[in-house]
Amino acid sequence: MTVIPLHRNAPADLAGPADLAVEQVKTLLAPINPSRVQNLRGQSHLEAWDVRRWLNRVFGFCGWADETLELACVSQVEINPGRWTVVYRAQVRLAVKTLDGRVISTWDDAAMGDGINQKSLGDAHDQAMKTALSQALKRCAVNLGDQFGLSLYNDGSRAAVGLWSAAHTAPKTAESVEAPAVPDDAPVKPEPAPVVEQQAAVEQQVQRSTRAEGGPWETPPPQEQQAPPQQQRPRAVPDQQPAAQGGPSRDYLADAQAAESRERFDQVRAAAVAEGAPQEYLAQLDAVAQQKEQAAQQRAPKQQAPSKPAAKKAGPARPAAVPSGPVTPDPEADAVRQQHAVAVAEFLAAGKALALDPSHLDDITVAEAGCKAADCTVEQLAGLTADLRAAAEGVAA
Q: What is the side-by-side order of every strand in the sheet holding 64-80?
A: 64-80, 83-97, 103-118
Is this model's pTM higher than 0.85 or not? no
C-alpha 137: how far from its chain's center? 19
Assign residue 217 a region: left if phi > 0, alpha if psi is -120 to 50, beta otherwise?
left
Work out whether strand 64-80 and strand 83-97 pair parallel, antiparallel, or are unpaired: antiparallel
With beta carbons less than 8 A apart as the criterion, state whether 276 and 41 touch.
no
Beta bridge partners of 112: 89
Amino acid at 251: D
Tell me how far apart the alpha carbons of residues 106 and 16 are, in angstroms, rounded to a whole number: 11
Tell me how far apart the alpha carbons of residues 176 and 94 are, in angstroms, rounded to a whole number: 30
Work out whether strand 38-40 and strand 64-80 pair parallel, antiparallel, or are unpaired: unpaired
pLDDT of residue 104: 93
pLDDT of residue 275: 74
pLDDT of residue 300: 64
C-alpha 370: how far from its chain's center? 30
Residue 98 has pLDDT above 50, yes or no: yes
Mean pLDDT of the region 55-64: 95
**Which residues have a Cβ under 8 Å from the Cβ of 17 and sit 6 or more positions away?**
104, 165, 167, 168
- Give the lowest-confidence range in 151-165, 225-239, 366-380: 225-239
Of the two residues 229 and 357, the one the predictor is more confident about is: 357
The secondary element (H helix, E strand) that includes residue 119 is none
With beta carbons less than 8 A apart as the criterion, state whether 86 and 128 touch.
yes
Mean pLDDT of the region 45-73: 95
pLDDT of residue 53: 95
Tell me how far apart the alpha carbons of residues 96 and 51 are, in angstroms, rounded to a whole number: 13
Query: How many Cβ atoms from other residues are within 10 Å of residue 320's Cβ?
Result: 8
Set out the domains of the chain in order of their start, with CATH numbers.
Answer: 17-177 (3.30.390.80)
pLDDT of residue 341: 82
Mean pLDDT of the region 282-311: 68
Give the model's confidence band at 397: pLDDT under 50 very low, under 70 low, under 90 confident, else very high: low
Q: In terms of C-beta density within 10 A (0-12 exposed, 13-18 middle, 19 or more buried), how is residue 35 classed? A: exposed
